[in-house]
A and B are shown apart, each in its own frame.
Chain A
């Protein structure tokens, strides 16, 4: 995906630059942008390390595990057909918590493990089960407590108060997750009626 996207951006940008006679600016931008990426990463090193550090503290003292447990009632509504003590519950909950806490890189492996278990439950079918659809929709709706990256970028570009967007962002992500939640539950009911599993 990125191969095409990146290639087209470069080719298109330089072509337009030549046509509009801005090639000097383009040349400067190429050099400056690469330097800028590194400066940005230095800011991000600090904020990201601060975040993963505090999350490790939360993990070690059992807070993350108790958050995961608190998700149980929601999971029962979202995945009514999965047996209560099935291991996949654990994976799904960990995936959700990692997303909520802004640990995207930790979320993906857990999500993939959950998918593989759901595949077994789905008897290796090529058609997605309702559980799989729900997992993806809830995942995409991206309930996130603190968008650490966005805060890092804002502070790098001189925001007076990088965290001021947290409240508004939280409401937006809550709304989209509620819609995803409702959609998943309704779509499951409808597909049961049509004989899908």
Chain B
């Protein structure tokens, strides 16, 4: 669990006669992580594709263009198909249905283009309506130059100066003056420069006939009929999508699998008569791989295990051992968090199990509210039902488990939508008179961890008030304590990782002193707080020893530069308390406002909750809903992101990726989703 699965290096060698059945079997077994042949051996060359590789990839390209027209995306399968059905329907799907879809899609695109061009024409025609000319008057002259456009200032006089023979029409449209200037063609150049001085912007008049208004009406009519033609075509595409979506995805899967198989030999080494496949397989699966392959090929293939020493030699030459992380199903979602950071190297640790232990507790401690916990749980449950992709499922599972912890901590903190109000009503509350008495004694708010705010807990356990002084101090201690454990676990993994790589000096003089420093630094602090000077001296002594060890380590005196980082690592865990306090504060304020200000005020100064009038209660609940909703929105993201940061920055840096990211185990084969096995 904490370590990746043990892998073994294997070589599969065989006669070329059996390459097709061997590839077929390997694909089905889904076990061998193939190491691509790099072409370095003089007696071997790279393999060539087998079978109908070309045909499969051509069909795949054809299919993908059709699926793009239908806007089909990968999704959770609703129906699985047997391979024989896919094969028998493929021809029809690719040729007849595909051609139909392509034609429909192209017609829709053509309609869109035509509508666009007609709309552009209308845009040009609209300002021309102010001129008294029919459209055919604007074009078709041999001896006249025509200028149609908008100008900033009147042009009549200036045009007349350069071309006494002229015909000018002008009219004012919405925010510009539209002019049509007709001059003899030999004056065109001069007139053009005169016009440009007046801010002339040309319009290209469409070659239509009749009056402008009737032309616009005709264009609008044809746009309408085009749109009318488009709607049923779109509906046809949508219907086809509904009908063929799963079949197309199944066909896509079938063709991808076939391409994968036929192109697999490109990764093998080949001679004229034989082929060799290098790869990694989980050690406990080797005998299965060997047995299955040899029985398939009838003795024409040899599967050899390479012993660890020789495999190490290959690793030193630059081959990566693939990492297969394997966790129980409860821990699996947390692999998402590991992956987001990096895939561990084969010799490193897979921290998913630790994230599973620490992350939900941290989330719970920050959110710590029964009401918010239940709300989060329900919302995430809905999301889980709605989004069925693998990533979403993992994410929602993480939050589901975490929100259960939020409910558990909510019981400790005595919070149902904040510390005031609902808890007292559901779980029990001291009588008002007794609270008044406590107030007079100065014990009501801000003092004491248990039983303040007058709340009673189940089974005689008094809930803790997170906003009270002693509770804050207690939670500071708890946060740092969790931090020390969290960082120490990270350091232990770091020491073991370095030992796995055989780097003893790094293990004992770089990783170990960090752990000693953090543990005993906090013990010394605790001693100071508790007034136990023995603890302070002991802690101080070992802190000094650990610093000396750091100086002796591989980095020398430069190692000391990291000391402030290790202290700030621990302080960073205070966020477990701090972020929680921020959202409790807001919830507290909301409840105070509703239960102790708005409701009494609107019911004419009643202090007892039984005397609140109905409108007061309705308005109070409205205020509560709004504020708590905002608080929830703000309050879900932080409890998720901050523990994530604590893992990535404070814990992972202690052991992770000192040697670079790993290569994930991806065996040759395919997980069938739309096809029956």
Q: Do A and B bind each other?
A: no
Residues of chain A at the chain B interface (Cβ within 8 Å)? none
